[in-house]
Structure 1
Amino acid sequence: MNARRTPRQQPATGPPGPREALVSARPRDGTMWFMSVEPEARAAASPAPVPGRPDGAAAEGQLPADRFLDRELSWLRFNQRVLELAEDPNVPLLERARFLAIFASNLDEFFMVRVAGLKRRMATGLAVRAASGLQPRQVLERVSEQARDLMRRHSDDYRDSVHPALCDAGIEIVRWADLKDDEQESLHELFRDRIFPVLTPLAVDPAHPFPYISGLSLNLAVIVRNPNTGTEHFARIKVPPVLQRFTRASAQRFVPLEDVISAHLQQLFPGMQVLQHHMFRVTRNEDLEVDEDEAENLLQALERELMRRRFGPPVRLEVEETIDPHLLDLLKGELGVEDDDVFPLPGPLDLTGLHAIADLDRPELKFPPFVPGTHRDLVDVEAREASIFAKIRQGEILVQHPYDSFATSVQAFIEQAAADPRVLAIKQTLYRTSGDSPIVDALIDAAEAGKQVLVLVEIKARFDESANIKWARKLEQAGCHVVYGLVGLKTHCKAALVIREEKDGLRRYVHMGTGNYNPKTARLYEDFGLLTCDEEVGADLTNLFNTLSGFALGTGRYKRILVAPESMRSGIVERIEQQAEAARAGQPARVRIKVNSLVDEAVIDALYRASQAGVDVQLWVRGICALRPGVPGLSERIQVRSILGRFLEHSRLFQFGVGATCETWFGSADMMHRNLDRRIETLVRLTSPEHVAELDALLDLGFDEGTAAWELDADGEWHRRATDGQGQPLRDLQDHLMTVKQRGARSARA
């Protein structure tokens, strides 16, 4: 099965456009700018706005050409919401510092992947007009302008708000000149013993070419003069990433590591006169390019490509705003960056290092501690009074992390399967996992115990490639069957299948989830998981794993799951259209979706048509949303909300209908081209009325006017609603769920 050439199933009433070749026509550079659909053709085929209607709104069935928001600009709006949490004085102080660090690392990845991908396509002539109607140059200009504003706002919030508040709380981040004499003395000793030995000054002259500047490294640009000749020289010193970004000067006082190095430059250039020094930081294209059709061994090819990643072209140059103009010109010339790629900022640069500050043991400055509880149906398992398989046989179990413990549910499921002599085989997907993964250890134990263990390791998971290669090697050495999925497709679904010998024959136990098999992120990410021994789900997962590991074709054989790229888009669009038909017939109709990102044009157009038909559409989108809500005649029945907080809202939920006919699904897929066309994704349908009601209640809370959230308008702006008309704080959804779950856990144990 050459999955790259599998045509995408197109709904009969879907929007026009040459979609069939999307997978085979993908760009070879692997970036996320998936505009293989010719937007010009799509825009030309789209109906024009209807004259006389407000805002050019279209009649039912007609969709205006400007109906999509730009996905890159929408992503920047998402990161702006993260920044707003850092700016919020009601958020605990160290959590504000962490949100500043998260904003910075998010923006790094955005430039490394999204901006880099767009620049590459523009350079090669492959970039096309976006679905939003913007030309690539327009997108890049607007991204640069908005990113520049956000980076300045980020720096200002640190300098004017978070930094002074930290000082008031006794956590001081100071510059070298502000240190006390005894603190400087201790840092002199630290520099001599631990910093100086790992530094490597690199000079630039005819015998020393300009050094390679690695991506995201923090660097000192130094100008020195030879006192004998009067000649000035440039040198670069890399701030060692293996050392703490903020060096402890005393109990609760810290100084940027570059300040410590700067104070000792004379020791690095003895006999020379140090004239000036300035910080700079380069962001490079760090996406991967692996031609899987030509790669004889995908693992080895990816290992080679990871080595090449370090040498991607620069896409951003951050400098201290006090940098000397001549020195800046030198850096721009040597690095090959344009003026638009330069971002002058107040120091210190690289605030991702604030993660270490946020980790300080100051609980009064953090969110109140939360310990996940064991799900009410698994209390007996935790107490070792029952096996997890016995509990699953009693009925399907729906868990929600981090409110329900991952360790006593999903991890226990895999660990008991590995230890149970009646278990004959385990099949599992691994997309991302932790550095000391108990899941991997359990799979190794199972293989060493003689069980058949199949593990699909997605070694192309962005920025986790090295870690996943390591796990793949370790699992292979233990005797696990390790596969890497289908050519041209990432395997992103979260599924585990356990085959167990029981009195009445073999029984299949399944876990399907929305999150990775990672115990660490399961304490920070909000996700759902289903534990079941339902025969239909077991048969579906058997077919899916046979497709992933062999040459079986799974199309049309699934009963309780939807699978991308085969049937997920068409299945979702079909259900949206069913709601539209119900609305036209005067019946209750509703669509509610919770995802990380909503970009796919076919799904968005189906939602527009449903709104025009009278369907109430509620969308809960954490990150990117390309749909315009509230446009008269097009989307006035569509509401879009976003919720951010201490946990990362990560689950994907889909609900079609109202009452007894309602269908509820959850799974691994966002509504994006990459998920629906270039990944193996799954959604599973819930059949338990109790579970359907549980997710229905969650969605009710998410869309309730009394719940704090951001709301999207038709122009792409997000407006935060955190207080009511009297200035009282609205309900924090995550705090509410923590309280409810803890109360339920206490009740289950009573």
Structure 2
Amino acid sequence: MPAVTPDLDKVARKRDLDQPGLYLNRELSWLEFNRRVLEEALDPGHPLLERVKFLSIFNSNLDEFFMIRVSGLRQQLELGTVEAPPDGMTPAEQLVAIRRTLEPMLETHWKCWREDLLPRLEAEDIHILRYSDLKRKQRKLLRRYFKREIFPTLTPLAFDPGHPFPHISNLSLNLAVVIRDPAFGERFARLKIPGFFPRLLRIPGEERADIFEGLPLSEVKANNFVWIEDVIANNLDRLFPGLEVVAAYPFRVTRDADIEIEEDEAADLLAAIEEGVGLRYFGKVVRLEVDCHMPAHVRDILVENLGLQPYQVYTVDGRVGMADVMELMSVERPDLKDPPFVPSVPPPLTTGENIFSVIRRRDILLYHPYDSFNPVLDFLHAAARDPNVLAIKQTLYRVGKNAPVVKALMKAREYGKQVAVLVELKARFDEENNIVWARALERAGVHVVYGLVGLKTHCKLLMVVRREPDGIVRYVHMSTGNYNTVTARIYTDMGLFTCDPDIGADVADLFNSLTGYSRQIDYRKLLVAPGNMREGILARIER
């Protein structure tokens, strides 16, 4: 009997593609992604410090989720947005679902830290100590360190009719200090813990504490750590002399950090981005994390003055700001970490032959992080020095604080090459780095553009224009990943070296569009958004 082939068009017509049940909510889907990060922290098959690292990443991911995704939903709620996404959930329903999904996940996270990771760290002679665990000489050493290093940087801010409620900066660690004044009774003060100190202070054992009386704690090699908020909380008498310090409760706020810039109205995009980055510290509060021991009346002071709803308050049965446990990765215990991975270099690039000759013969595909990123740097350095190279053009999105790629571009300019770079200033949370590099490139004589109004330039392209005996040849590197030597060792991405004439011509046309004026939509081989990419992808699906 012949097989029956369904009429796919009829099947599609019968199914109502507007049914919300067919779609996953974007925010809840992201939480499930972060759950998988948490599962890596729960996995006993990983080395211990790698599990701590994953716990940190779970927390830092959540910080960004609230700063961008949750803040966006809050804004929709305030604006009365009625148009629902394909999954049909309103902003209010999404916020409720986020909280409902997140609470058990956070409980699992705290249980992992308290009942699993902390005991295992202790068993490995890595001690995360409570202040009450410290011996006399250790406390004396920390008292001296507090007086000499921490105390001069602290600014307690009172809250009473003569002192307005202080601004609480985004993701800063704070203490809500309750004091008792003999004349006026109970008072409230906020104390910000400076972010330039380590969150986990390394201290010597009791038997060696005397040795470090005149030395900085940075010299300590022992794996004993104490939380900086505990050190400050137990030395508050120096900040409030003559008053009784009743208690101090850690808390932290997360603010809306999604910069909104009216690009069409900005006369100077770089200046507008700089201003927007500054405003990030003053966005609306979207989350308040408080210590579980904080009394209701103290929590109410924070909630009322920050203008929050109850569902925006998260009571923490542990430490707020647990992303900081990433500091434990500095512990010199290779046995508790993954062995270092050494990426490979494709064989054609290991012969010492001129890289342009190699690419001229064949395309080369790199698969990071398993393939090394060094060939990309070698390509750029070779282009900078090669007397036959006439021009270099590149897009930069996230290059990081230490950027060998940028330094190579500046070196190319010193060698007299024509260098043009698009630096995407709107790369979220990398705006400040990119502004610094854009200005450095400009000072070096590089032609710098800042991106397209209303769009983010995500494409990662590097083109080298070289004079050869048979004419001008365009060498291209294109990648799914950033030109960032750090993330190239972590993230999975693909990069392609080619001198295909059609791709080279397409990339040249695209750079002309990015740096100048062009309405080109059709390209020979590239699919470019917002021009022909969607149509091109759909056509390839249909074929």
TM-score range, shorter chain: over 0.9
Quick check: 1:96 aligned with 2:51?
Answer: yes
Quick check: 1:480 aligned with 2:446?
Answer: yes
Q: Is the 8 A contact 1:426 1:453 kept in 2?
A: yes
Quick check: 1:298 aligned with 2:286?
Answer: no
Question: Which consecutive residues of structure 1, in runs of 5 or more, have no partner in the other structure?
Answer: 1-57, 579-750
- Which amino acid counterpart does residue 304 of structure 1 have in structure 2? E
Q: Distance in 2 between matches of 1:126 and 1:119?
A: 10
User: 2:7 corresponds to which residue?
Assistant: none
How far residue 152 of structure 1 moved from its aligned partner, in angstroms, is 2.2
How far residue 448 of structure 1 moved from its aligned partner, in angstroms, is 2.1
Report the secondary structure of 2:113's partner residue.
Answer: helix
Query: For residues 433-448 of structure 1, what are the structure 2 equivalents within 5 Å?
Result: 433-448=399-414
Report the secondary structure of 1:149's partner residue.
Answer: helix
User: 1:659 corresponds to which residue?
Assistant: none
Query: For residues 31-46 of structure 1, what are the structure 2 equivalents within 5 Å?
Result: none
Q: Is the 8 A contact 2:425 2:451 kept in 1?
A: no
Quick check: 1:231 aligned with 2:197?
Answer: no
User: 1:138 corresponds to which residue?
Assistant: 93
Q: Is the 8 A contact 2:200 2:225 kept in 1?
A: yes
Query: For residues 2-13 of structure 1, what are the structure 2 equivalents within 5 Å?
Result: none
Q: Distance in 2 between matches of 1:83 and 1:527?
A: 23
Query: For residues 315-354 of structure 1, what are the structure 2 equivalents within 5 Å?
Result: 315-354=286-325
Report the secondary structure of 1:315's partner residue.
Answer: strand
How far residue 373 of structure 1 moved from its aligned partner, in angstroms, is 2.3
- Which amino acid counterpart does residue 364 of structure 1 have in structure 2? D
Question: Which consecutive residues of structure 2, in runs of 5 or more, have no partner in the other structure?
Answer: 1-9, 205-221
Q: Distance in 2 between matches of 1:517 and 1:284?
A: 29
How far residue 127 of structure 1 moved from its aligned partner, in angstroms, is 5.3
Q: Deviations over 1:69-101 (max 9, x none)?
A: 101000000000000000111111100000000
User: 1:503 corresponds to which residue?
Assistant: 469
How far residue 419 of structure 1 moved from its aligned partner, in angstroms, is 1.3
Q: Point out which structure has higher relative CO (alpha carbons under 8 A, 6+ apart).
A: 1
Quick check: 1:429 aligned with 2:395?
Answer: yes
How far residue 128 of structure 1 moved from its aligned partner, in angstroms, is 2.3
User: 1:18 corresponds to which residue?
Assistant: none
Query: For residues 405-424 of structure 1, what are the structure 2 equivalents within 5 Å?
Result: 405-407=372-374, 409-424=375-390
Report the secondary structure of 2:264's partner residue.
Answer: coil
Quick check: 1:258 aligned with 2:213?
Answer: no
User: 1:698 corresponds to which residue?
Assistant: none
- Which amino acid counterpart does residue 349 of structure 1 have in structure 2? V
Query: For residues 206-245 of structure 1, what are the structure 2 equivalents within 5 Å?
Result: 206-227=161-182, 229-245=183-199
Residue 515 of structure 1, aligned match among 468, 472, 481: 481
Q: Deviations over 1:644-666 (max 9, x none)?
A: xxxxxxxxxxxxxxxxxxxxxxx
Q: Distance in 1 between matches of 2:378 and 2:454?
A: 33
User: 2:219 corresponds to which residue?
Assistant: none
Q: Distance in 2 between matches of 1:271 and 1:570?
A: 73
- Which amino acid counterpart does residue 462 of structure 2 have in structure 1? A
Q: Is the 8 A contact 1:286 1:309 kept in 2?
A: yes
Q: Is the 8 A contact 2:203 2:226 kept in 1?
A: yes
Quick check: 1:391 aligned with 2:358?
Answer: yes
Q: Distance in 2 between matches of 1:482 and 1:537?
A: 23
Report the secondary structure of 1:446's partner residue.
Answer: helix
How far residue 230 of structure 1 moved from its aligned partner, in angstroms, is 4.2
- Which amino acid counterpart does residue 80 of structure 2 have in structure 1? G
Q: Is the 8 A contact 1:118 1:127 kept in 2?
A: no
User: 1:128 corresponds to which residue?
Assistant: 83
User: 1:717 corresponds to which residue?
Assistant: none
User: 1:538 corresponds to which residue?
Assistant: 504
Shift in alpha-carbon separation, 1:321–1:304, aligned structure 2, 3 A: same
Q: Is the 8 A contact 2:380 2:408 kept in 1?
A: yes
Q: Distance in 2 between matches of 1:391 and 1:180?
A: 65
How far residue 61 of structure 1 moved from its aligned partner, in angstroms, is 3.9
Q: Distance in 1 between matches of 2:111 and 2:254?
A: 21
Report the secondary structure of 1:255's partner residue.
Answer: strand
Q: Distance in 2 between matches of 1:318 and 1:127?
A: 30
Q: Deviations over 1:18-64 (max 9, x none)?
A: xxxxxxxxxxxxxxxxxxxxxxxxxxxxxxxxxxxxxxxx9344433
Report the secondary structure of 2:22's partner residue.
Answer: coil
Quick check: 1:246 aligned with 2:200?
Answer: yes
Q: Distance in 2 between matches of 1:413 and 1:202?
A: 54
User: 2:242 corresponds to which residue?
Assistant: 271
Q: Which moved more, 1:370-379 or 1:510-519?
A: 370-379
Quick check: 1:108 aligned with 2:63?
Answer: yes
Report the secondary structure of 1:425's partner residue.
Answer: strand
Q: Distance in 2 between matches of 1:99 and 1:534?
A: 41
Report the secondary structure of 1:428's partner residue.
Answer: strand
The alignment's C-alpha RMSD in Å is: 1.2
Q: Distance in 2 between matches of 1:361 and 1:180?
A: 25
Quick check: 1:528 aligned with 2:474?
Answer: no
Residue 167 of structure 1, aligned match among 114, 122, 131: 122
Residue 110 of structure 2, aligned match among 155, 167, 170: 155
Q: Which moved more, 1:567-576 or 1:310-319?
A: 567-576
- Which amino acid counterpart does residue 128 of structure 1 have in structure 2? E
Q: Distance in 2 between matches of 1:61 and 1:419?
A: 61
Q: Distance in 1 between matches of 2:99 and 2:538?
A: 35
Q: TM-score when scaled to structure 1?
A: 0.68
User: 2:368 corresponds to which residue?
Assistant: 401
Q: Distance in 2 between matches of 1:438 and 1:512?
A: 18
Q: Deviations over 1:135-180 (max 9, x none)?
A: 2111111012212222222122111111111111111111100112
Shift in alpha-carbon separation, 1:547–1:127, aligned structure 2, 3 A: farther
Residue 15 of structure 2, aligned match among 63, 87, 90: 63
Q: Distance in 1 between matches of 2:13 and 2:135?
A: 71
Q: Is the 8 A contact 2:223 2:331 kept in 1?
A: no
User: 1:6 corresponds to which residue?
Assistant: none
Q: Deviations over 1:432-462 (max 9, x none)?
A: 0021211101111111222111100000000
How far residue 276 of structure 1 moved from its aligned partner, in angstroms, is 1.6
Report the secondary structure of 1:280's partner residue.
Answer: strand
Q: Deviations over 1:509-560 (max 9, x none)?
A: 000001000011111111110001110110010011011011122211x122
Q: Distance in 1 between matches of 2:27 and 2:101?
A: 11
- Which amino acid counterpart does residue 264 of structure 2 have in structure 1? D
- Identity score, percent: 50
